[in-house]
Amino acid sequence: MMMLPFLWALSVGIAKDPSAVVHLADAAFNAAEGDFSLLGSALWPDELTLHWFERAFTDFPLLNYLNNSAILSSITVILTLMLSIPAAFAFAQMEFYGRNVIFIILLATIMIPSEISIVPNYLTLGSMKLLNTYAAAMLPNIASALGVFLLKQYFEQLPKETFDAARVDGAKEWQLLWHIAIPQSYPAITALAIMTTVLAWNDYLWPALVLKEAAKQPVTVSVFNMLTGPLSSISNLVLATTMLAIIPVLLCLSLGQRFFLGGTQTDPT
């Protein structure tokens, strides 16, 4: 059932005549009453074409928007990992004053709706003259409390004896992190990278607020603008563009599924 809307959108996107495609709601309603005759027409058109996918690149600067999303997502992932990995290691393997209190405060921020921070973040970035820049779109998203929590839980399950033996041999904390913790935590790190990539790619509200210049906007914002613009009446083109916009996310999840499932387990064994 979850895949039906995607299959219907793909069906409209590859249909030569959009009027020949039965609306998914009508097909689903009939199927609920035992009539499945319309379901095939809704999910697979009689005449196929890739014309609308081609027009997504010619009539609409989709490639530019995909490039913007790729840049934003890649840099966000790199910066998130650079901040989350050392922080998680410190909470998991190092002793310092107030560690538990600070960690509880960090976890509490997960329960705060992100919408609450929109106005303060917008005003702060405005005072720093960063609005309408990639930095403005990325900075509020790189400090991931959830990422720190996930990695901390994983780091805590690593054999403590290994770290103790390395400390006895004179290893510094950064060496423990770089040579022991990170090599044994690739599944968790990959899982965080995948999760961050998907969240960054799908982010709409914040980029729409801070990136006013169309040439800098990611694909989520541009597709929404397409839905409210002059091309909105061409349903084939809109849905073909939408399908192209989600392909990178689907590929990311498909290729990294094994790491994602393994990385969310707290036991590295």
Reported as a single tens digit per residue, the pLDDT across 155-193 is 999 998 999 999 999 999 999 999 999 999 988 999 899
List the single range of 108-112, 125-129, 254-258 with lowest mean pLDDT: 254-258
The pLDDT tens digits of the residues spanning 235-263 come to 788 888 988 999 888 888 887 776 666 54
The pLDDT of residue 230 is 82
- Residue 173 resides in a domain: yes
Residues 44 and 141 in one domain: no
Q: Does residue 254 or residue 214 have the better pLDDT?
A: 214
- Residue 241 resides in a domain: no
Cα 31 from chain centroid (whole Å): 33
pLDDT level of residue 41 (50, 70, 90 thresholds): low
Return all residues near 110 (Cβ < 8 A) that are at least 6 apart. 145, 146, 149
pTM equals: 0.84
Residues 152 and 41 in one domain: no
Cα 86 from chain centroid (whole Å): 22
Specify the CATH number for the domain of residue 148: 1.10.3720.10
Residues 250 and 128 in one domain: yes
- Residue 153 resides in a domain: yes
Containing structural domain, residue 139 = 56-217+246-263
Q: Does residue 33 or residue 54 have the better pLDDT?
A: 54
Residues 158 and 209 in one domain: yes
**Bridge partner list, 48:** 15
Q: Does residue 28 or residue 73 have the better pLDDT?
A: 73
Q: How many CA atoms lie within 13 A of 19 on its CB side?
A: 0
Structural domains counted in the chain: 2
Residues 14 and 78 in one domain: no
- Residue 133 resides in a domain: yes
With a pLDDT cut of 90, the percent of the chain lying above it is 53
Compute how many other C-beta atoms are within 10 angstroms of the C-beta atom of residue 3: 9
